Structure 1
Amino acid sequence: MSTSNSPVRLNARLDTRPDGGPSRGLWLVKWLLLVPHLVVLFFLWVAFPVLTFVALVAILVSGRYPRPLFDFNLGVLRWTWRVWFYGYGGLGTDRYPPFSLDEEPDYPATLDIAYPERLSRGLVLVKWWLLAIPHYVVIAFFTGGGGILLWQWGESRLGVGGGLVAVLALFAGVALLFTGRYPRGIFDLVTGMNRWVLRVGAYAALMTDEYPPFRLDLGGADPAGPRVRPEPAERVATHSGGSAGRVVGVVAGVLALLLGFGLTAGGGALLWLDGHRGADGYLSTPVERFSDTGYALRFDASEISSVDHGLPGVDDVLGRVRIHVSGVDSGAMFAGIARTSDVAAYLSDVPHGRFTGPRTMPHAAPMMRMRPPAVPMGDTMWVASDTGTGELTVNWVPRRGEWSLVVMNASARRGVAADVTFAATAPSLQPIAVGILAGGIGLLVTGSLVIVFAARQRPRRR
């Protein structure tokens, strides 16, 4: 048997039942039984790269991996290994995995990583991507791009991949179903490949400077033997309540981080948008060409934007609205804004294109009768309008209610095409963006502190 100096110790024990292995058919429904674990692990694996990045900065500054972060990330790997071994990365036990970040030495699948007292500041910048590339190529065959751990900087995925590990576990499941026995050779090979994957995962997660060996150490017992880190004088007691509290804290922190990232991105985007006003202070949409074979183009503001649904202060959000309309041909055009109910009555039974926004297909108008509309200029329903050749400009201050824009030929002839641009001053955009951005940053800080605090919690000693 080959020896290993890897600080990563992975052990697995095949269920010992009188008939030779796990039950025949339970593996067929384990995908359902694993759902609660996968939900929790999703949040843990969102936190994992965040804490690893914090550890990277700490290693660059001090040459040490903060012990609370190390213990938490090790707990995530342990939890993942137990779930993977129970599920379709091993099928080696029918004992349901505990919801725990702790060691759980009595479970058939265990993992330990010796804590490094010092780590190289230089290696931390290159080992997780450049130096680990050869290993990534190898373990891609094992995991199929999914599996127990495909860790890239800033991104983590956990799932059942189509790699060799899952395929061999499936073969073992079929053997269990028909013979009641788990082929020992498959178990040894699957465990060896999982051992290789987790060694690479620990190296990529900056938890060791020891380069993973290019070697399949087969079998359930790690050839390196028992863990090498010294055991403290007092024994650490497995405390499921403490572990559950840590998980709840991390999940809450991750939710705060996700919401914070969203708000920060949204606030930043709004600030960027606010910085791209025209010289006249307006924010404009790109010029868009609209056309229809009917008599008019209709734009309902309630379908383009929800800010006009009778909400108070709508004029504070949009400010002044300006619409530019340019006809495609040389004929005179008309553009006007009126209440949606009046526009619906005006265009009743009139073929026209109804648009819900830029780059959308028009809604076909009902054609029970084919009649042209009245010439628009003589109607008093328009609250803002313009007519003529060249570029038309409609200036309007939004009011509560539902409003629509109509663009048509001034002579009310059939067939209309125009280039349309919508613009608004949006005076409240900057303070809204600053408020959203500040809230997002606050949630990012809060989420990070909650995760770090949860990671610092240690199991009780006895």
Structure 2
Amino acid sequence: MVTAAAAPSPVVPAYPVHVDAQRPATLSRWLWLVKWVLAIPHYLILALLWAAFLVLSVVALVAIVVTGRYPESIFEFNVGVLRWNWRVAYYSYGALATDQYPPFTLAEVDDYPAHLRVDYPDHLSRGLALVKWWLLAIPQYIVVGLLVGGGATIVRSTTDAGWRWEGGLIAILVLVAGVILLVTGSYPRALYDLLLGLNRWVIRVAAYAGLMTDKYPPFRLDMGEHEGVSLYTGPPPAGPSGPSTGAVPAYGGPQPGYGGPPPGYGGPPPGYYGGPPPASLGPAAPPPGAPPPRATWTGGRLVAVVLGSLLALIGLGGLATGATMGFWHLFERDDGFVTSRAQDVASDGYAVVLGEVDLRGDGMPVDWPQRLFGEVRVRATATDGGDVFLGVAPAADTAAYLDGVRHHVGEGNRRLQLHDGGQLTVPPEQMRLWLADAAGPGTQSVRVDLPGGRWVAVVMAPDGSSGIDATVDVGATVPWLPWFALGALVAGLAFAVAGAAIIVVTSRRAISG
């Protein structure tokens, strides 16, 4: 009786982002409760490193579009940032999988139980570099959003529900692992393998979005300490002895009856991960075949490139601010006033008090607040086309006038806040508290040079009746705007050039060693 040959299990090539770790033998029951304190130095440094990662990724994008290659020194730096972040996550609340404190270095550390390596690409697609990080990666971003969520943070709800917990699947599983560790003193193997797989998925997407590879991250959960085996998986050709029979080994070694690789196949493609680490290296060793570092990032160079990146970010912010202010000055003025968007205000009370403007300038030798704003204009239009009253008055006098009267107050961008009370006894036109006022049908406008003090604009019915429904906008001449725009552009350009120079010089020195 002839037994049919078993079909080989499909084995896929390794993804060029290799994430490996060593499962801990023992863990402290209690240490994870305070790791958020112990990891603070790393969090602070990573905040700076991620800022540099962002800037250098933009530099890499330009280089890829121009040359088709990722600058080697920047590649080593960005991989180092991912590696640093992975070690901190493995130690803290990305896995809680080791009590060994993470080293302060971008380089691979053999005796640390968490490892990350990215195969350096010889060539990258210019076209993909322009679209993969913002368009092609959207499906992966959705998955990563589910995995990391708010990163186990407490955030302010956008509704009136107050505070709420926002954490992704990884945060929830880490919390479960921490509780189990606290109670039993052990870390469940299945949970450990799952967390390693989820973190591996997130890191692959981060590397892809960071332009380090053109290979799309697989929608595949590779769990466990190591990624497994990657071998040629095509159908074995018939050897001299005919079709092969019997079981096919999982990996390593030829298949029975397999006469060698197919024609033209000279071995696994570059970057294939050839299996788990050899036993001689120990489980903590990084994957074999890792190339030596192409750049040397010393502590001084790290500080320099972070400083250059921060200067570049400040410069870009200055350029954006200057360009925005220049656009407002040239194209957004209405009759000489830089004007806000019209805001709908409605109240069943007797007045709507708009946000307070503080022009006191306490301690200033010159009336700078007034000079900054220049002439101020407030406009109000009744929605139903009826009459409307608009006045500008000191905040304290307005509060006294409306004390005990039902009205609404606008505070910044928040919704109108109700101040409950009774009826209005004196119509607004009979009051003398107004610095400027206007009343009548259609659009009413007041223009005023505000002196020092705290001022508010008030919308009411001219006869003091209840019920207000109007649209309001506020504008100012802002005479300093063109000079501010010019200054921001010049300063931004200077900072950006200085930052770029520091980054270029430091990156070249990192390559030269």
Name the counterpart of 2:50: 45
**Partner AA of 2:23 in structure 1:** L
Q: In the TM superposition, what is the alpha-carbon distance from 1:109 to its structure 2 partner?
A: 1.5
3-state SS of the aligned residue for 2:333? Answer: coil
Confirm or deny that 1:430 pairs with 2:482. yes
**Partner AA of 1:361 in structure 2:** L
Q: In the TM superposition, what is the alpha-carbon distance from 1:82 to its structure 2 partner?
A: 1.1
TM-score relative to the length of structure 1: 0.69
Give the aligned CA root-mean-square deviation in angstroms: 4.9
Distance 1:376 1:37, change over 3 A: same
Name the counterpart of 1:151: none
Partner Cα distance (2:502, 2:143) in 1: 37
Q: Is the contact between residue 356 and residue 455 of structure 2 (CA under 8 Å) also seen in structure 1?
A: no
Correspondence for 2:375 among 320, 334, 343: 320
Name the counterpart of 2:38: 33
Alignment of 1:67-216 (within 5 A): 67-125=72-130, 128=133, 143=147, 161-163=168-170, 167=173, 173=178, 176-177=181-182, 180-184=185-189, 187=192, 190-191=195-196, 194-195=199-200, 197-209=202-214, 216=222
Partner Cα distance (2:223, 2:402) in 1: 78
Alignment of 1:251-330 (within 5 A): 251-253=306-308, 255-256=310-311, 259-260=314-315, 262-274=317-329, 275-278=331-334, 280-285=335-340, 286=342, 294=350, 304-307=356-359, 309=361, 312-324=367-379
Deviation by residue 1:269-309 (Cα, 9 ceiling, x = unmatched): 4333332223x323444375566755x7766xxx5323454
Partner Cα distance (1:291, 1:186) in 2: 56
Q: Is the contact between residue 75 and residue 101 of structure 1 (CA under 8 Å) also seen in structure 2?
A: yes
Q: Is the contact between residue 352 and residue 459 of structure 2 (CA under 8 Å) also seen in structure 1?
A: yes
Correspondence for 2:450 among 359, 381, 398: 398
Q: In the TM superposition, what is the alpha-carbon distance from 1:95 to its structure 2 partner?
A: 0.7
3-state SS of the aligned residue for 1:97? Answer: coil
Deviation by residue 1:79-129 (Cα, 9 ceiling, x = unmatched): 122112222444332110012212222212222223333334344445556
Q: Is the contact between residue 327 and residue 391 of structure 1 (CA under 8 Å) also seen in structure 2?
A: yes
TM-score relative to the length of structure 2: 0.64
Name the counterpart of 2:426: 372
Q: Is the contact between residue 44 and residue 250 of structure 1 (CA under 8 Å) also seen in structure 2?
A: no
Partner Cα distance (1:185, 1:325) in 2: 65
Q: Is the contact between residue 145 and residue 161 of structure 1 (CA under 8 Å) also seen in structure 2?
A: yes
Q: Is the contact between residue 88 and residue 166 of structure 1 (CA under 8 Å) also seen in structure 2?
A: no
Q: Is the contact between residue 352 and residue 409 of structure 2 (CA under 8 Å) also seen in structure 1?
A: yes
Distance 1:253 1:372, change over 3 A: same
Confirm or deny that 1:10 pairs with 2:19. yes
Partner Cα distance (1:217, 1:68) in 2: 31
Q: Is the contact between residue 90 and residue 190 of structure 1 (CA under 8 Å) also seen in structure 2?
A: yes
Deviation by residue 1:336-394 (Cα, 9 ceiling, x = unmatched): 6566677677x487848575568863774988x985379748x6x76655567766554
Q: Is the contact between residue 350 and residue 372 of structure 1 (CA under 8 Å) also seen in structure 2?
A: no
Name the counterpart of 2:61: 56
Q: Is the contact between residue 336 and residue 386 of structure 1 (CA under 8 Å) also seen in structure 2?
A: yes
Partner Cα distance (1:273, 1:353) in 2: 34
Q: In the TM superposition, what is the alpha-carbon distance from 1:59 to its structure 2 partner?
A: 1.6
**Partner AA of 1:60 in structure 2:** V
Distance 1:27 1:389, change over 3 A: closer
Q: Is the contact between residue 337 and residue 382 of structure 1 (CA under 8 Å) also seen in structure 2?
A: yes
Distance 1:248 1:405, change over 3 A: same
Distance 1:452 1:348, change over 3 A: same
**Partner AA of 1:161 in structure 2:** G
Partner Cα distance (2:402, 2:208) in 1: 70
Percent identity of paired positions between Structure 1 and Structure 2: 40
Distance 1:445 1:13, change over 3 A: same
Distance 1:190 1:422, change over 3 A: closer
Name the counterpart of 1:152: none
Partner Cα distance (1:327, 1:178) in 2: 66
Distance 1:83 1:344, change over 3 A: closer
3-state SS of the aligned residue for 2:109? Answer: coil
Q: Is the contact between residue 12 and residue 221 of structure 1 (CA under 8 Å) also seen in structure 2?
A: no
Aligned length: 428
Q: In the TM superposition, what is the alpha-carbon distance from 1:55 to its structure 2 partner?
A: 1.2
Q: In the TM superposition, what is the alpha-carbon distance from 1:208 to its structure 2 partner?
A: 3.3
**Partner AA of 2:372 in structure 1:** V
3-state SS of the aligned residue for 1:216? Answer: coil
Name the counterpart of 1:154: none
Q: Which structure exhibits the higher relative contact order, with contacts defined as CA atoms closer than 8 Å and separated by 6 or more residues?
A: 1
Distance 1:183 1:385, change over 3 A: closer
Task: Tell which deviates more after alignment, 32-41 or 99-108.
Answer: 32-41
Name the counterpart of 2:289: 228
3-state SS of the aligned residue for 2:117? Answer: strand
